[in-house]
A and B are shown apart, each in its own frame.
Chain A
Amino acid sequence: MTAAAREEILRRIRAAAVPPAPEPPRHYLRHAPGTDPDDRPGTLALFAERLAEYGARVLRATDPGPAVARALHEEGARSLVVPDGLPADWTADWDGEVRADRPPLGKAELDATDAVLTSCAAAVADSGTLVLDGGPAQGRRAVTLLPDLHVCVVRAEQVHSALSGALAVLDPARPLTFVSGPSATADIEMIRVKGVHGPRRLVVVLLEAPSG
């Protein structure tokens, strides 16, 4: 039956006889407006600024361990889920309970865990966006969804000026989650409320190479 439907729909499309259309023009910017894409400090500053606008916290650090511990302490987390492949030194300075997602934790266990710590696959300065692709140290999607606090370590070189740069390095075959600030809604009288179903708090540890 679906085969008959398929044939019929394709026949109707052919019958509509739509004339050919040219290749789309692409004269738009490939970097954040009003910035110099080669200005790395400027790009990182913009990333931090945009995240803060959404209500996400940004900690800039050269050593991940103390920064992660500080974020978890200040947000009052007592339990933390970590995906496979997370560098051990990221949690070395924290004294709370660490739950590895191996074997995979159940939905209820994830829901009862305070925080999740991950890396990311790419980030976008212009929109303050993190992208998770389920790769090492990022975990499956449920892990970054159910705990109420998400702490994400972003390496400075992963930050692209605009979406174009990030899309070019991402693999569409993987399940991707683009996160631009914490969960939010404006469905009631267009008043922005932070936090509905996704993690209500987002902390980004922006990791830069030590200078000198």
Chain B
Amino acid sequence: MSRSFLGWPAFPEAAAREVGNRQLRENVRRATHTIRGKRAVLAAERPDWEQLRDSAAAIKDRVLAGLEGYLLQVEEKVTAAGGTVHWARDAAEANRIVTDLVRATGEREIVKVKSMLTEEIGLDAALEAAGINARETDLAATIVQLGDDLPSHVVVPALHRNRSEIRDIFAREMGRHGRPAPEGLTDDPAELAEAARLHLREKFLGAKVAVSGANFVVAETGTLVVVESEGNGRMCLTLADTLISVVGIEKTVPRWQDLEVLLQLLARNATGERMAPYTSTWTGTVDGDGPRDFHLVLVDNGRTRALADPVGRQALRCIRCGACMNTCPVYERTGGHAYGSVYPGPIGAILNPLLRGLDDPQTASLPYASTLCGACNEVCPVRIRFTDVLLDLRAQVADGGRHPVERVALNTVGAAMQRPLLWKAAVKGAGLLGPLLPARTPVPGWTDNRALPDVPGESFRTWWKRNEGERA
């Protein structure tokens, strides 16, 4: 049974567990710093980088502002090109549609192109429950699947694993799912990639049904776009008889020309390349080339909930480049699993609460999984203002009464600050009482991971008066 993030603990608990794993911290640090370095070089190469970001943000805002019209256009164009369009309100509905489509073909094993959305909706587990074995084909997704693990990054899902862990997983698991790993497999990355090539080649050649996501869907032409590096995407999109693409409604872009902006930003930001090795585009079906049947499943699953949030809706601009997590000091220390979702890091800290609501303690904890340093704002190719959204979500958490103590405390401080005499008395009182407090006064939720600062004996106002007096 494949693992899932269902019932995952809130961020502070999950993070506390993860930061204790030294190997994980080293793996994540090495990987994120490598991608950051490559990205920085290629972003700096473009003197028009800021103009590209302006354009990308505006293109995605345009999509969100006209989403109904663009989706209808997608439906019309894909249908005219020989495809079938399905609509799914939530994960269960999307999974049911895909399961029924696969069942209709009679196939028991299918191949998949890495897709965050199918991870989000738990498609592999739903298919498994229906007796259908969905094999992941991206190298990192294969590592995660064979290791009965969970993804920890949107671009490099097995970023938390190092080569010797991967070697052990391949040697142990490949034989149970098809062609075994070669005898005497070492932990050389080239040998590991070769083992994956051999293991998956027989699956590609035999597969009748493939499932993919899409990076973009062009409304004016009905064209789907998949960006990848290894060629596993091309194998799935080309060799199967039936292709089912499961796509979030926010993946739409209005015009074909928009790809000149988004493709250039995506590769540079995601992997530090000018273009990823392979970008495949297709519009419906083509006689004698590729799948005979094409199904597009358009999925909401909380996206319209996010769309209704005036501050938060900008998170739907996201093109899943992963740059925010590569640059995040919190992600670097906790890794991706602490976020309890297939979307970790800064984008996860805002997207999960927006998609799922703040009603459960896990999603409500995520807007606090940030130091508000704003590094993510700086690297985001579509100019998501992460810190604005984080603060707004924290306000929603507080207004919802989920942090009652903090709320009472802030209300009290606010009331005192509006009354100067009361405020002065309170500050003076604190100065007098401060030294009487024991050195390690516990404040629940605050002093678990840090020390309470000393209360100064003199207020700032008093200090200012004294020093200003000396200068004058």
Q: Is B150 in the interface zone, CB < 8 Å from A?
A: no
Which among B187-195, B388-396, B400-408, B411-419 touches the partner chain? B187-195
Q: Is B264 in the interface zone, CB < 8 Å from A?
A: yes
* B258 cross-chain contacts in A, Cβ below 8 A: 24
A13 touches B234 (CB 8 A): no
Tell me the B41-79 residues at the A interface (CB within 8 Å): 45-48, 51-52, 54-55, 58-59, 61-62, 64-68, 71-72
User: Nearest B residue to A199 by beta-carbon distance?
Assistant: B231
* B163 cross-chain contacts in A, Cβ below 8 A: 188-189
Which among A70-78, A92-100, A121-129, A204-212 touches the partner chain? A121-129
* A5 cross-chain contacts in B, Cβ below 8 A: 86-89, 93
* A108 cross-chain contacts in B, Cβ below 8 A: 205
Which among B118-126, B269-277, B372-380, B424-432 touches the partner chain? B269-277
Q: Is A190 in the interface zone, CB < 8 Å from B?
A: yes
CA of A189 to CA of B35, assembled, Å? 10
User: Nearest A residue to B284 by beta-carbon distance?
Assistant: A173
A167 touches B260 (CB 8 A): yes
A–B pairs, 20, beta carbons within 8 Å:
A5-B87, A5-B88, A5-B89, A13-B67, A14-B68, A23-B58, A26-B55, A54-B277, A128-B274, A141-B289, A164-B257, A175-B283, A178-B280, A180-B273, A180-B275, A184-B229, A187-B140, A188-B189, A189-B27, A196-B232
* B89 cross-chain contacts in A, Cβ below 8 A: 5, 8-9
A197 touches B54 (CB 8 A): no
Max chain A Cβ within 10 angstroms of own Cβ: one of B64, B200, B260? B260
Chain A residues close to B by CB (< 8 Å): 1-2, 5-6, 8-10, 12-30, 33-34, 50, 54, 104, 107-108, 111, 124, 126-129, 134, 140-142, 145, 162-164, 167-168, 172-191, 193, 195-199
Which among B178-186, B300-308, B442-450 touches the partner chain? B300-308
Q: Shortest beta-carbon distance, A184 to chain B, in Å?
A: 5
Q: Shortest beta-carbon distance, A38 to chain B, in Å?
A: 18
B231 touches A191 (CB 8 A): no
Q: Shortest beta-carbon distance, A36 to chain B, in Å?
A: 14
* A162 cross-chain contacts in B, Cβ below 8 A: 260
Tell me the B136-192 residues at the A interface (CB within 8 Å): 137-140, 143, 156, 158, 162-163, 166, 189-190, 192
A12 touches B300 (CB 8 A): yes
A198 touches B231 (CB 8 A): yes
A24-B261, A189-B27 are known contacts; what are 8 more A-B pairs with Cβ within 8 Å?
A16-B308, A18-B64, A21-B65, A34-B45, A164-B257, A172-B221, A175-B286, A180-B273
Given contacts A18-B313, A189-B162, contact A167 B234 (CB under 8 A): no
Q: Name the 6 nearest CB pairs between A and B, nearest first.
A: A198-B231, A24-B58, A12-B304, A197-B231, A196-B230, A140-B289
A183 touches B156 (CB 8 A): no
Name A173's contact: one of B221, B261, B264 (CB within 8 Å): B221
Main DSSP-derived SS at the A contact region:
loop
B156 touches A178 (CB 8 A): no
Q: Is B288 in the interface zone, CB < 8 Å from A?
A: yes
Q: Is B281 in the interface zone, CB < 8 Å from A?
A: yes
* A196 cross-chain contacts in B, Cβ below 8 A: 139, 193, 196-197, 229-232
Max chain B Cβ within 10 angstroms of own Cβ: one of A12, A128, A172? A172
A142 touches B65 (CB 8 A): no
Name B55's contact: one of A24, A33, A145, A181 (CB within 8 Å): A24
* B267 cross-chain contacts in A, Cβ below 8 A: 127
Q: Is B204 in the interface zone, CB < 8 Å from A?
A: yes
User: Nearest A residue to B205 by beta-carbon distance?
Assistant: A107
B275 touches A9 (CB 8 A): no
* A199 cross-chain contacts in B, Cβ below 8 A: 231
B192 touches A188 (CB 8 A): yes
* A26 cross-chain contacts in B, Cβ below 8 A: 55, 261
Q: Shortest beta-carbon distance, A140 to chain B, in Å?
A: 4
B201 touches A176 (CB 8 A): no
Q: Is B2 in the interface zone, CB < 8 Å from A?
A: no
* B230 cross-chain contacts in A, Cβ below 8 A: 183-185, 196-198
- Residue-wise, chain B 287-311 has the 8 Å CB interface mask toward A (1 for contact) of 0111000000010100011011000
A195 touches B261 (CB 8 A): no
* A185 cross-chain contacts in B, Cβ below 8 A: 139, 193, 229-230
CA of A24 to CA of B223, assembled, Å? 20
Q: Is B19 in the interface zone, CB < 8 Å from A?
A: no
B87 touches A9 (CB 8 A): yes
B280 touches A177 (CB 8 A): yes
* A30 cross-chain contacts in B, Cβ below 8 A: 260
B275 touches A129 (CB 8 A): yes
Q: Is B10 in the interface zone, CB < 8 Å from A?
A: no
CA of A180 to CA of B30, assembled, Å? 26
Name B59's contact: one of A24, A33, A124 (CB within 8 Å): A24
Q: Is B235 in the interface zone, CB < 8 Å from A?
A: yes
Name A111's contact: one of B47, B201, B221, B274 (CB within 8 Å): B201
Q: Shortest beta-carbon distance, A142 to chain B, in Å?
A: 5
Q: Is B81 in the interface zone, CB < 8 Å from A?
A: yes
CA of A177 to CA of B290, assembled, Å? 12
B46 touches A197 (CB 8 A): no
A25 touches B288 (CB 8 A): no
B239 touches A107 (CB 8 A): yes
A164 touches B304 (CB 8 A): no
* A177 cross-chain contacts in B, Cβ below 8 A: 234, 278-280
